[in-house]
Amino acid sequence: MDLQDKRKPIPFISSFSFAVSGIMTALKTERNMRIHFISSVIVLVLSFYFSITKMEWLFILFVIGGMFALELINTAIERVVDLVTVEYHPLAKQAKDLAAGAVLVYAALAVAIGIVIFLPYALHMF
Ligand X SMILES: Nc1ncnc2c1ncn2[C@@H]1O[C@H](COP(=O)(O)OP(=O)(O)OP(=O)(O)O)[C@@H](O)[C@H]1O
Within 15-44, the residues that bind ligand X by CB under 6 A are 30, 32
30 is catalytic: no
Q: Is 96 in the site for ligand X (CB under 6 A)?
A: yes
Element (H, E) at 126: none
For CA atoms 88, 90, 93, 99, the dihedral sign is negative
Alpha-carbon gap, residue 103 to 121, rounded angstroms:
27
Q: Candidates 40-48, 50-58, 84-92, 106-114: pick the segment binding ligand X (CB under 6 A).
A: 84-92
- Choosing from 30, 71, 78, 87, the catalytic residue is 71
> Using CB atoms within 10 A of its CB, is residue 85 exposed (0-12), middle (13-18) or buried (19+)?
exposed
Beta carbons of 78 and 99 less than 8 angstroms apart: yes
Residue 79 interacts with ligand X (CB under 6 A): yes or no = no
Contact (Cβ atoms closer than 8 angstroms) between residue 58 and residue 47: no
DSSP state of 8: S
Options 44, 100, 102, 113; binder of ligand X; rule CB under 6 A: 100
Among 89, 115, 116, 122, binds ligand X (CB under 6 A): 89
Instruction: Figure out which of the listed residues 55, 88, 124, 125 binds ligand X, where binding follows CB under 6 A.
Output: 88
CB of 94 to ligand X, least distance (A): 8
- The catalytic residues are 71
Residues at the contact surface with ligand X, assessed by CB under 6 A: 30, 32, 74, 78, 85, 88-89, 92-93, 96-97, 100
